[in-house]
Structure 1
Amino acid sequence: MTTGAAARARKRSHGPRHRQDMVAGPDPLFGPGLRIAHEKDRDTAGGGPAALWRLPVLVGMTARLGWRADRWGLLAVAAGQLASAAATTVTYLTTQRLLTGMFSAGPAGRKVEMLTSVLVVMVVAMMVRGLSGALTTGASGRLGPRISRSAHTALLERAAEVELARMEDPAFHNLLLAAQRGADATRRVTERVVGLSGGLMAIVAAVAVLATMDALLVPLLLLTLVPQAWGMARTVGARHASITRWMELTRQLDQLSMLLTHRESAEEVRVHRMGRFLLHHYRRLAMHSEQEQARLARREACVKMIAGAVSGAAGAYAYGLLAFLVATGRMSFAVAGTAAFAIRSSSMSLTSLVMQTQTIHEDAMYIADWRRACTRADESAIPSPGARLPGDPEVISTHRLCFTYPGARRPALDGVDVRVRRGEVVAFVGENGSGKSTLAKLLAGLYVPSEGAVLWDGVPTNLVDRRDLFDRISLVSQDFVQWPFTARMNVAVGRADRPLDERLLRRAAAAMGAEPVVARLDDGWDTLLAREFWGGTNLSGGQWQRLGLARAWYRDAPVLVVDEPTSALDPTAEIEIFDRIMELAGRGRTVILITHRLASVARADRIYVLDGGVVVEQGTHDRLLRSDGVYAAMYRAQAAQYEAAG
């Protein structure tokens, strides 16, 4: 096939209805992670006339949030807007009376008396409008933050209960990012809905007044609405479709910005001179966003030009028709003047309404993302309730356990059978990526098996109330959280569901050798362990590890899972910590240990050797050495390193 024929074949295979990824090939930093979703060539999907029909639904969603967050504030806003609309209607009607009185025949004294009463009514209406505006502003200023807090809280409550595997899904992360913007948008939408409803009420009042004067005047007002509404719908739909399609790029730009500014990466950025490198790639990726924004701006300019031209022509026709009706005697000057005033005022309100509608619709789309994220989080939540555990587990086991991470092609575990009895120390060893940490997380109920089962006293974990299961687990993960809290709270969060127990806190620190760490801090237990905040400090890796182990001890759970618990400790401290872990098993706790340091697992009751997600050996330290298999080879290799170092 010739080059031209191949190109035509590719064109035919993709078809004219679909766009190509706007970033071709793998990204030098993010590989296949930089993905711009295939979309139909109509990037106004979700826009157009359908956008207007969805707007009441989206605004109604915000209203329901407002009702739950502050119903009295919402009612105050509604009352203020209704009062303002009534005052606007009275203003239009009194304007007609004022013009009629001014140009009518009759005694001057009677005209002054009539005009005075009309002016009094107009002034009162204007005062009511001003007071209702103040009421609306005050109420919406209180309502907006409460709605935003309610939306953020609802999202975070659900995110905290989502299955761990779901949290590692990039698509769900994109949705969470959009949902966080949606939670922020609820406050803006609340404030803008107030402005929109005010403009809408003014237009409704103008329509009502014009209808009482002459039904033919109503279409003149509505003529200016249609083109502007069409332009708004087209613009907002295109912008939201673009933002959704480029969400992955937005996250990656945020990641590069974080690497340039966060403390964790600051040392390597400076020593390895990575600043210019990261800035280069930030600019490179940002150019894609700039090009997309320029494309949207060009499209928006075209849409606004068309909408403005049509709207201007409609306005000229409306005023020309009024002039014609007055000239031919079909309408009085007072009615025409009132109609012109109403059209002019409502046109200004309409301009504000269209602008408010455009921003509301864009924000409300993010609120729709917020709602979708809450729904998907509910669907992916850890099931509750389930079967209650009768007590602390006597046996934790697996049967033909298989697990594949979302989006992965190969299973992380494939047909694994292990058994852990109460009071035992069971170690998982193997090369990096062999499945040790994944297996431990499955035993702890953090993941649900893809196939097979994890059994706690014969009950599968996918049928257990896993909140009840988690209550029996202490976890020291390989990258445990270094909370930006005080030293006291860094330990006490091990039992955040209970009141702080100072006596247990100090026992935990003593048991895991954290007392000397705290003693050297300026404010002791009250020292803030976050250098990025005023008055904060930071700890070394070994000091953090002692606090992390103290946190697990403070939790006082029957099953302890420790993943590389001594990787940042010196050899003497390492031996001390392993001795303390063994003591926990002697007091009836079950210990699941993951480590690369094979000398530390010699006293384990049983050792499982994993390779490529499969258990290849199991037994005691002595038995595995005698079998002269994978474990023995690993052990001898480490021993030779120590001998060479000595």
Structure 2
Amino acid sequence: MTEGLEEAYWSVHDGAAASATVRQVLARLPKITAVIGRLAWQADRRSTLMAVLCQLGSAAMAAFGLIASVKVLQHLFAEGPTPDRVRAAIPQILAVAGFLAARALLEAAVAVAQARVTPKIRTALECEFLHLTAHVRLEAVEDPDWHDEVHRANDRGLFYARMIVGQVVSLASAALGLIGTAGVLGVLHPALLPLLLLSVLPVGAAAVRSARARFNSFKRWNALQRRVRVFSWLLLDVDAAAELRSDTAQGALLDEHRRLTTRIAEEDTRLGVSSAVLNLAGRTVGGIGTGITYAALAGMLIAGWLPLAAGAGAVLAIQAGRASLTQLIEVGHLVYEHALWVDDLLAVQERSRRLLPRASGVRAPEEVQEIVVQDVHFSYPGKDTPALNGVSFTLRAGETVAFVGLNGSGKSTCAKLLAGLYEARQGSVRWDGVDVREMDAQSLHERVACVLQEPVRYPFSALANITAGVGSLTEADPERVMAAARASGADKVIAALPGQWQATLSKRFKKGRQLSGGEWAKMAVARGLYQLAVLVLLDEPTASMDPPSEHAVYEAVLRGRLRKDQITVLISHRLASVVDCDRILVFDSGRIVESGSHTELMALGRDYAAMFTLQASGYHPGTSTIDEAAR
């Protein structure tokens, strides 16, 4: 079972650098650096400019320090008494110390600039990402592929966006250090440049092999960890606890968990041994290259091509070049891979911009006399059968209308079109003659209150749970809040809480309280009523309530409404709750097949009457529901 897990959305780019060639990595690094530079420039221009200039200055100080070190050696290897040579070298020694001090200050300045700009990049990206993804159209959110993309960008893209700034700085430092070293060697003698390559390339090759081995090992380790989590989750999950203990299934799960954790330990050991062997091989090859380099350097000194002091300086430069190249390879692999995650993040943001609801200067009205739905058709992406197929009806101010029908008949889809969450593929929804597709989507959503069967359980205070529907967690209209709470029955729920209105409704917080399903439903109804919306949509809002609570809510919704011109749409499978509605629309296969009051539909004797009779028969002792339905 565990061997067949699909690749997780958050691991699709893991190990990408291990499969890329050195040429691919090096070719992409300039583009990555440009992208990160653009983000940094947008976040904080001053700090970005400071980081660039100080980074260049630091590289220059390193190069000047090498040149000054060569001059020190020239004085020390010159002819004459030792004290005289030392005294002659003192100015250059002080220059070396000055360059090193200046480099340290410049690197500190780079670190300060990086510390300033990195959080700003992360904050800007995260705020923009959440703003865009929180406002995309509902149909995008309901796409499974969208979930993978968004969660991947959130989990990994934002994480690596923070890390990659420092990595790019390290990459630039290594590249500039390598360029500076090559420049110093070119000044000493042009023939030293090939020697630098001979010395550093074996080290670079070993670093590439080691980095790829680590990535591939991590990929295997990560897959094993995912499988382990399946068993850890089952063993710790509250919902699974009772059945695990009644079936005594713990032993089988623990055995599989032990098998997988043993394999993880073996993979850790294999990685450690492999890394040690690779490092040894790299150092061996690098040592051979260095030996050849030093032999060639000795030959140049014997032939008189190079002064002794310049030769010693070349040794220092070559060692610095090896360190820079090793850093360049290792950091370059990280930057290459992490940039794929950042690209994902930026791509999701760009896609989200194209999926935002329409924005226009036409705002939805604060009052509406009638909403006309005319020949509306709607199909879900990838579905051949339309969810709505030519639906037409009119809603009027102050009216309560019920949508009833079997599951999948189109009731909830129609409600979402009324709320502006979906747009009709054909036909129109008009508020007092204005097509909702011409209205600003945000203003339309403000005029509609949705109360769903599974409402959001905000981990906030009881008061904030009611006011969240109007976009505020910190401000409330006391009279409106009390009226909404009383009408929904939430006032009694809140009165029983320690701290009452300020009680936190989540066990994740100290002294937090968890409500029952029925209590949450009352809070959701209060949230909807508090909005004083033009249109209130209630989709099975009382499914989890006890009979007295359900009766109280329907009394509030149908008779005790807070706004007299409100249009209320009630979706329910409990047909006893829709008896008092002004009209009942019966949906079947995306069409409205019946329309009228309860009395009219019962007299009609068709689908609604059959469903109502079937439900009612269950409340008569000794009556077979199946026989009653057949009659």
Same fold? TM cut 0.5: yes
Q: Which residue of 2 aligns with 1:531?
A: 507
Contact 2:44 2:117 in 1 (8 A): yes
Q: Which residue of 1 aligns with 2:105?
A: 131
Task: Say which SS state the counterpart of residue 368 (structure 2) adopts.
Answer: coil
Task: Say which SS state the counterpart of residue 418 (structure 1) adopts.
Answer: strand
C-alpha displacement at 1:530, in angstroms? 0.5
1:385 is the counterpart of 2:394? no
Aligned counterpart in structure 2 of residue 550 of structure 1, from 518, 521, 526: 526
* Segment drifting more, 457-466 vs 265-274: 265-274
1:633 is the counterpart of 2:610? yes
- Amino acid of the residue matched to residue 143 of structure 1? V
Contact 2:136 2:355 in 1 (8 A): yes
Cα deviation digits, residues 399-450 of structure 1 (max 9, x gap) = 3333333344433333333332222111111122322212211111111234
Q: Which residue of 1 aligns with 2:536?
A: 560
- Seen in structure 2, the aligned counterparts of structure 1 residues 135 and 596 have a Cα distance that, compared at 3 Å, is same
Task: Say which SS state the counterpart of residue 621 (structure 2) adopts.
Answer: helix
Q: Which residue of 2 aligns with 1:12?
A: none
Q: Which residue of 2 aligns with 1:325?
A: 300
Task: Say which SS state the counterpart of residue 476 (structure 2) adopts.
Answer: coil
Contact 1:485 1:529 in 2 (8 A): yes
C-alpha displacement at 1:580, in angstroms? 1.1
Cα deviation digits, residues 461-488 of structure 1 (max 9, x gap) = 3332111111110111121100011111
C-alpha displacement at 1:45, in angstroms? 7.3
Contact 2:409 2:590 in 1 (8 A): yes
Q: Which residue of 1 aligns with 2:477?
A: 501
* Segment drifting more, 160-169 vs 585-594: 585-594
- Seen in structure 2, the aligned counterparts of structure 1 residues 629 and 483 have a Cα distance that, compared at 3 Å, is same
1:605 is the counterpart of 2:605? no
- Cα distance between partner residues in 1 of 2:200 and 2:499: 65
- Seen in structure 2, the aligned counterparts of structure 1 residues 516 and 265 have a Cα distance that, compared at 3 Å, is farther
Q: Which residue of 2 aligns with 1:574?
A: 550
Flag structure 1 segments of 5+ consecutive residues without an equivalent: 1-26
Question: RMSD of the alignment, in Å?
Answer: 4.3
Cα deviation digits, residues 253-309 of structure 1 (max 9, x gap) = 989877776767777777787878988999999999999999999999999999888
Aligned counterpart in structure 1 of residue 598 of structure 2, from 616, 621, 625: 621
Aligned counterparts, 1:139-154, within 5 A: 139-154=113-128
- Seen in structure 2, the aligned counterparts of structure 1 residues 364 and 619 have a Cα distance that, compared at 3 Å, is same
1:642 is the counterpart of 2:599? no
Task: Say which SS state the counterpart of residue 573 (structure 2) adopts.
Answer: coil
Aligned counterpart in structure 1 of residue 448 of structure 2, from 469, 473, 493: 473
C-alpha displacement at 1:110, in angstroms? 3.6
C-alpha displacement at 1:164, in angstroms? 0.8
C-alpha displacement at 1:209, in angstroms? 0.9
- Seen in structure 2, the aligned counterparts of structure 1 residues 290 and 365 have a Cα distance that, compared at 3 Å, is farther
C-alpha displacement at 1:368, in angstroms? 0.7
Contact 1:47 1:234 in 2 (8 A): no
Contact 2:17 2:25 in 1 (8 A): no
Aligned counterparts, 1:141-290, within 5 A: 141-180=115-154, 181-222=156-197
Cα deviation digits, residues 213-236 of structure 1 (max 9, x gap) = 122222333456667777888998
Q: Which residue of 1 aligns with 2:24?
A: 50
Aligned-residue sequence identity (percent) comes to: 32
- Seen in structure 2, the aligned counterparts of structure 1 residues 309 and 75 have a Cα distance that, compared at 3 Å, is same
- Seen in structure 2, the aligned counterparts of structure 1 residues 232 and 445 have a Cα distance that, compared at 3 Å, is farther
Contact 1:423 1:585 in 2 (8 A): no
C-alpha displacement at 1:51, in angstroms? 2.9
- Cα distance between partner residues in 2 of 1:30 and 1:449: 40
- Seen in structure 2, the aligned counterparts of structure 1 residues 99 and 487 have a Cα distance that, compared at 3 Å, is same
- Seen in structure 2, the aligned counterparts of structure 1 residues 422 and 315 have a Cα distance that, compared at 3 Å, is farther
* Segment drifting more, 303-312 vs 570-579: 303-312
C-alpha displacement at 1:543, in angstroms? 1.1
Q: Which residue of 1 aligns with 2:64?
A: 90
Contact 1:495 1:555 in 2 (8 A): yes
C-alpha displacement at 1:197, in angstroms? 2.4
Contact 1:49 1:233 in 2 (8 A): no
- Cα distance between partner residues in 2 of 1:147 and 1:332: 50
Cα deviation digits, residues 520-568 of structure 1 (max 9, x gap) = 1111111111112222111111111111111111111111011111112
- Amino acid of the residue matched to residue 155 of structure 1? F
- Cα distance between partner residues in 2 of 1:315 and 1:435: 76
- Cα distance between partner residues in 2 of 1:196 and 1:555: 54
- Seen in structure 2, the aligned counterparts of structure 1 residues 470 and 368 have a Cα distance that, compared at 3 Å, is same
Q: Which residue of 1 aligns with 2:628?
A: none
Contact 1:65 1:150 in 2 (8 A): no
Q: Which residue of 2 aligns with 1:414?
A: 389
Q: Which residue of 2 aligns with 1:101?
A: 75
1:75 is the counterpart of 2:52? no
Q: Which residue of 1 aligns with 2:629?
A: none
Task: Give the TM-score normalised by structure 2.
Answer: 0.85
- Seen in structure 2, the aligned counterparts of structure 1 residues 450 and 293 have a Cα distance that, compared at 3 Å, is farther
Task: Say which SS state the counterpart of residue 417 (structure 1) adopts.
Answer: strand
Task: Say which SS state the counterpart of residue 536 (structure 1) adopts.
Answer: coil
Contact 1:402 1:411 in 2 (8 A): yes
- Cα distance between partner residues in 2 of 1:413 and 1:272: 46
- Cα distance between partner residues in 1 of 2:261 and 2:499: 44
- Seen in structure 2, the aligned counterparts of structure 1 residues 557 and 222 have a Cα distance that, compared at 3 Å, is farther
* Segment drifting more, 309-318 vs 276-285: 276-285
Contact 1:399 1:416 in 2 (8 A): yes
- Seen in structure 2, the aligned counterparts of structure 1 residues 252 and 437 have a Cα distance that, compared at 3 Å, is farther
C-alpha displacement at 1:125, in angstroms? 1.7
C-alpha displacement at 1:603, in angstroms? 1.5
Contact 2:206 2:279 in 1 (8 A): yes
Task: Give the TM-score normalised by structure 1.
Answer: 0.83
Aligned counterparts, 1:285-296, within 5 A: none
Number of paired residues? Answer: 618
C-alpha displacement at 1:392, in angstroms? 2.9
Aligned counterpart in structure 2 of residue 119 of structure 1, from 93, 115, 118: 93
- Cα distance between partner residues in 1 of 2:430 and 2:210: 55
Contact 1:148 1:185 in 2 (8 A): no
Cα deviation digits, residues 293-346 of structure 1 (max 9, x gap) = 999999999999998887666545433322322232222222121112111122
Aligned counterparts, 1:304-315, within 5 A: 314-315=289-290
- Seen in structure 2, the aligned counterparts of structure 1 residues 504 and 586 have a Cα distance that, compared at 3 Å, is closer
Contact 2:484 2:562 in 1 (8 A): no
Task: Say which SS state the counterpart of residue 422 (structure 2) adopts.
Answer: coil
Task: Say which SS state the counterpart of residue 331 (structure 2) adopts.
Answer: helix
Task: Say which SS state the counterpart of residue 390 (structure 2) adopts.
Answer: strand
- Cα distance between partner residues in 2 of 1:339 and 1:397: 85
- Amino acid of the residue matched to residue 97 of structure 1? K
C-alpha displacement at 1:364, in angstroms? 1.3
- Cα distance between partner residues in 1 of 2:396 and 2:253: 50
* Segment drifting more, 494-503 vs 621-630: 494-503
- Amino acid of the residue matched to residue 576 of structure 1? A
Contact 2:204 2:326 in 1 (8 A): no
- Amino acid of the residue matched to residue 359 of structure 1? L
Flag structure 2 segments of 5+ consecutive residues without an equivalent: 624-631
Contact 2:481 2:530 in 1 (8 A): yes
C-alpha displacement at 1:578, in angstroms? 1.0
Q: Which residue of 1 aligns with 2:489?
A: 513
- Seen in structure 2, the aligned counterparts of structure 1 residues 196 and 435 have a Cα distance that, compared at 3 Å, is same
- Amino acid of the residue matched to residue 158 of structure 2? A
